[in-house]
Structure 1
Amino acid sequence: MSERIVVVGAALWHEGRLLVARRSAPAELAGLWELPGGKVEPGEAPDAAVVRELREELGVDAEAGERVPGQWPLRTPYVMQVWTARLRPGSAAPRPLQDHDELRWLTPDRVWDVDWIEHDVPAVRDTLTHLEARDGV
């Protein structure tokens, strides 16, 4: 069996809200929502990938927190891991720089108001459970 490639999703949590991003590309995912993130580069730690991806995709200075327990299958050979993250003091406001055309900060009761990429749904559900247990959201 070939080695799995890890894709990190960032659960960027700020002032009781989760940042979600709407895909603009590729065409089959355009208009659907996801946690921002991307592939872990060879030799890169997953938490470092979270920080790099948030900088590249959203222009923010963030720090990774803890990994949300579990991982979720994407198309072979990819698997998704989710890490909590927070903006560092003085960070610029997030803005869509690549692969996204809109961002929203959603409270836990509004998370399901957007049309998620199907494979992100179980990861988002587990992430909300994790944040609730951690922060009482």
Structure 2
Amino acid sequence: MEECPDSFVRLDAALPTVLVAAIALVDIEGRVLIAERPAGKSMAGMWEFPGGKVEEGEIPEAALIREAKEELGIDVSASCLAPFAFASHSYEKFHLLMPLYLCRKWDGLIVPQEGQRVKWVRPLDMGDYPMPPADLPLVAMLRDFI
């Protein structure tokens, strides 16, 4: 049996774990909404799935409902959120655990609420947009699924 190389994953239990929930909004044409991280935030200029940090006492689905309203001005129902995959990635100062949910139905028009740019992109074209390292494996999974 072939061994997995350790060079790809930094196993550091001393890093704090940060739970962030993300959403892949999928339109009727099979495109996914991505948002550009605004200036002043870490990884500014990179494109990501909308979402945000899960607050203490909050479950990921509730965080996504809150974040969809705060960031995009839309209403999402928990029953329309389908768990899809998750990312587990060590950055320099924290370890990110990020469940990604698919959503094909929401109420309202998407209007960025925080000055961020958004774009509908086919999964096959997501490689044209710089994304945080944690998002890249999720993009590959979306390409196979959608």
Q: CA deviation at 1:110?
A: 1.8
- Report the counterpart of residue 106 of structure 1 in structure 2: 121
Q: Which amino acid aligns with 1:34?
A: E
In the aligned structure 2, how far is the partner of 1:79 from the partner of 1:118?
12
**CA deviation after TM superposition for structure 1 residue 117, in Å:** 2.1
Cα separation, 2, equivalents of 1:74 and 1:124 = 18
Q: Between Structure 1 and Structure 2, how many residues are aligned?
A: 128
Distance (whole Å) between structure 2 residues aligned to residue 20 and residue 62 of structure 1: 16
The runs of 5 or more residues in structure 2 that have no matched partner are: 1-12
Could you tell me whether the CA contact under 8 Å between 1:9 and 1:81 is conserved in 2? yes
Residue 10 of structure 1 corresponds to which residue in structure 2? 23
Q: Which secondary structure state, in structure 2, belongs to the residue aligned with residue 69 of structure 1? A: strand
User: Does the C-alpha gap of structure 1 residues 77 and 112 become closer, same or farther in structure 2, counting only changes over 3 Å?
Assistant: closer
- For the pair shown, the structure with the greater C-alpha radius of gyration is 2
Single out whichever of 76-85 and 66-75 deviates more from structure 2: 66-75
* Structure 2 CA distance for aligned equivalents of residues 79 and 112 of structure 1: 22
Q: 1:52-131 maps to which residues of 2 (within 5 A)?
A: 52-63=66-77, 64-75=80-91, 76-88=94-106, 91-98=107-114, 100-129=115-144
Q: Supply the distance in 2 between the matched residues of 1:26 and 1:124 (Cα, whole angstroms).
A: 25
Displacement of 1:119 after TM fit?
Answer: 2.5
Q: Normalised by the size of structure 1, how large is the TM-score?
A: 0.79
Partner of 1:22: 36
Question: Structure 1 counterpart of 2:130, which letter?
Answer: D
Please give the TM-score of this superposition, normalised by the length of structure 2.
Answer: 0.75
Give the letter for the 2:129 counterpart: V
Q: List gaps (5 residues or longer) in structure 1.
A: none
Is 2:65 the partner of 1:34?
no
Which whole-Å CA distance do the structure 2 matches of 1:26 and 1:68 have between them?
A: 30
Q: Distance in 2 between matches of 1:71 and 1:116?
A: 13
CA RMSD for the aligned pairs?
2.1
